[in-house]
Amino acid sequence: MNPDYETRYLTGLTFQKSASEIKEKLVIKINLLKAKIVERQARIVQARTEYGIDDGALIALLNEARNQSKTFAKMSYTISSISNSSVPNGSKMEERTIGAGVVNLLLTEGDYIETEKQQVSRLELILRNLRPIESTDTDGIPSNKDAFTLSESDLKYLNF
């Protein structure tokens, strides 16, 4: 028997939820996403602190990693704390080798943060604009429609 056999049943169903039910779930989802963003930012700060990665080094490191990812995998990256053009007289340029795992953490967490910020922005837009639909029927009598159609994936995403 095919294990996907049972998933073929009850597909294409849609579900009706009120604006207030959806808004309640949107607020929860937005708060969860914002908390996740804070967690990710804390991991980035921790890694940067642990490996002494300042803003300039971070930019150089991420640019090198993104360029390298298109050609081949690299096990470590070397960054300078002072760029060549700004080395003061008598100062040494400090170089550090950063492991690929740390670089991957910085890249991945940064990408997730951007995606989650976009999700928060979209959900906040929906939250601000979601309200019952006011219309008139064929007899000119005003009516409110407070039921919105959600798919199974919408229900899962909002944790209904």
Q: Where do the domains of the chain lie?
A: 18-130
Cβ(79)–Cβ(60) under 8 Å? yes
Lookup result for tokens 């492991």:
99
Rounded Cα distance, 117 and 3, in Å = 37
Cα(39)–Cα(47) distance, rounded to whole angstroms? 13
Q: Is the pTM of this model over 0.85?
A: no
Residue range 49-77, pLDDT digits in tens: 998 888 888 888 888 888 776 555 555 55
Q: Residue 134, Cβ neighbours under 10 Å: how many?
A: 9
> How far is Cα 157 from Cα 25, in angstroms, rounded to an integer?
9
118-136 pLDDT, tens digit per residue, is 999 999 999 999 988 777 6
pLDDT score of 30: 98
> What pLDDT shows up at residue 109?
96
Give the other-Cβ count within 10 Å of 25's Cβ.
20
Question: DSSP labels for 68-98?
Answer: HHTT---SEEEEESS-GGGPPTTPPPPEEEE
Residue 123's alpha-carbon distances to 12, 63, 126, in angstroms, are 24, 31, 5
127: enclosing H helix or E strand: helix 100-129
Direct distance between the N- and C-terminal alpha carbons of the chain, in angstroms, rounded to an integer: 31
- Give pLDDT, residue 85: 47
